[in-house]
Amino acid sequence: MKATQQLHDNGQSLWLDNITRGLLDDGTIEGYINTHSVSGLTSNPSIFDKAIKTGAYDTDIMAQSTKGLTNEEIFFDLATADLQRAADLFKPVHDRTDGVDGWVSLEVSPLLAYDTTKTVEAAKAIHQKANRENLFVKIPGTPEGLPAIEESIFSGVPINVTLLFDVDQYLAAADAYLRGIERRIEKGLNPDVASVASIFISRWDTAVAGSVPDELKNKLGLAVGFETYRAYRELMASDRFQRLLNEGARMQRLLWASTGTKDPDASDTLYIEGLASPFTVNTMPDSTLDAFYDHGVLSDPVPSDGGDYVAQLERFSQAGVDKEALALKLQDDGATSFSSAWSELLSRIDAQLANAKEKS
pLDDT digit string, tens, across residues 170-220:
999 999 999 999 999 999 999 999 999 999 999 999 999 989 999 999 999
Residue ranges of the domains in the chain? 3-354
Q: How many CB atoms lie within 10 A of CB 322?
A: 11
pTM score, two decimals? Answer: 0.95
- Phi, psi of 263, deg, nearest 5: -85, 115
Is residue 138 annotated as a catalytic residue, yes or no? yes
- Give the pLDDT of residue 359: 63
pLDDT in tens, 254-298: 999 999 999 999 999 999 999 999 999 999 999 999 999 999 999
- Give the pLDDT of residue 62: 83
| Cα-based angle 23, 27, 32 (whole degrees, multiple of 5) | 85
- Give the pLDDT of residue 356: 59
- Give the pLDDT of residue 66: 80
- Give the pLDDT of residue 70: 86
HSE, side-chain direction, 13 A CA sphere, residue 195: 33
CATH assignment of 3-354, among 2.60.40.10, 1.20.140.10, 3.40.50.620, 3.20.20.70: 3.20.20.70
- Give the pLDDT of residue 113: 78
- Give the pLDDT of residue 65: 77
pLDDT beyond 70 at 44:
yes
Q: pLDDT exceeding 70 applies to what percent of the chain?
A: 98
Q: pLDDT exceeding 90 applies to what percent of the chain?
A: 82
- Give the pLDDT of residue 86: 98
- Give the pLDDT of residue 114: 81
Please, which contacts does 208-215 make with residues 24 or more away whose CB atoms are closer than 8 Å? 208/316, 208/321, 208/326, 209/263, 211/319, 211/320, 211/321, 212/316, 212/319, 212/320, 212/321, 213/319
Average pLDDT score over the chain? 94
pLDDT, greater one: 131 or 357: 131
What are the residue ranges of helices labelled H in the chain?
3-9, 21-25, 28-35, 45-53, 58-65, 71-96, 116-130, 146-154, 167-186, 202-208, 220-236, 239-246, 270-274, 286-295, 309-318, 323-359
pLDDT in tens, 317-358: 999 999 999 999 999 999 999 889 888 888 888 887 776 566
Instruction: Name the band, by pLDDT with cuts 50, 70 and 90, for residue 232.
Output: very high
- Give the pLDDT of residue 357: 63
Instruction: Name the band, by pLDDT with cuts 50, 70 and 90, for residue 111.
Output: confident
Residue in 2, 124, 138, 219 annotated catalytic: 138
254 DSSP β-pair partners: 197, 280
- Give the pLDDT of residue 115: 87
Q: What is the mean pLDDT of residues 14-31?
A: 96
Q: What is the mean pLDDT of residues 293-310?
A: 95
pLDDT in tens, 81-94: 999 999 999 999 99
pLDDT, greater one: 139 or 68: 139
